[in-house]
């Protein structure tokens, strides 16, 4: 049984997903249950997370949890720098709802690599951080 913060998070996500299902029904009226998957797949990398969750519930929910973890790391890396956090939050949902825009963003990957490298120099932690642009050789 979920307790405390876990229960609150579960209910918050439940309410969020319920709203997203309603959004999908409004945006795509009359869509049959078996058609959601095809609609989500057709969107490709530009898929809206609401549509992804409607079409692929388990995968979409797993990505939602992963995104929440990424956002928590973003917040931790920003620390008390409100300006940095404001810039990073521009990449977070629900502004665009495009799940892969954040995950595949070269700007975000570059920012993560730089921030983790800076954290490494300020601490005794050691990370193996490498960022390669798409198409760039990793050798």
Per-residue pLDDT of the chain (139 residues; tens, 9 = 90+): 455 557 788 888 889 899 999 999 999 999 999 999 999 999 888 888 899 999 999 999 898 888 888 888 888 878 777 887 787 777 666 556 777 777 788 887 888 888 878 777 776 655 555 555 666 655 5
**pTM for this predicted structure:** 0.70
- Res 136: pLDDT: 64
- Res 77: pLDDT: 79
- Res 118: pLDDT: 79
Cβ neighbors of 111 (< 8 A, separation 6 or more) are: 88
- Tokens 């956002």 belong to 71
Structure tokens given for 18: 């319920």
- Res 76: pLDDT: 82
- Res 80: pLDDT: 76
Report helix angle 57-78 to 82-89, nearest 10: 160
Rounded-to-integer distance, Cα 40 and Cα 33, Å: 12
């Amino acid at each position: 049984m979920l307790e405390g913060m876990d229960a609150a998070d579960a209910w918050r996500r439940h309410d969020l997903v319920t709203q997203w299902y309603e959004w999908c029904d409004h945006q795509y009226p009359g869509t049959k249950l078996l058609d959601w998957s095809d609609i989500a797949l057709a969107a490709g990398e530009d898929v809206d997370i609401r549509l992804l969750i409607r079409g692929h519930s388990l995968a979409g929910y797993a990505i939602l949890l992963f995104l929440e973890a990424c956002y928590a790391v973003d917040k931790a890396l920003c620390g008390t720098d409100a300006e940095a956090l404001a810039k990073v939050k521009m990449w977070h949902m629900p502004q665009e709802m495009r799940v892969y825009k954040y995950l595949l963003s070269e700007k975000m990957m570059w920012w993560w690599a730089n921030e983790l490298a800076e954290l490494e120099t300020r601490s005794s932690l050691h990370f193996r951080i490498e960022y390669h642009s798409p198409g760039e050789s990793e050798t």
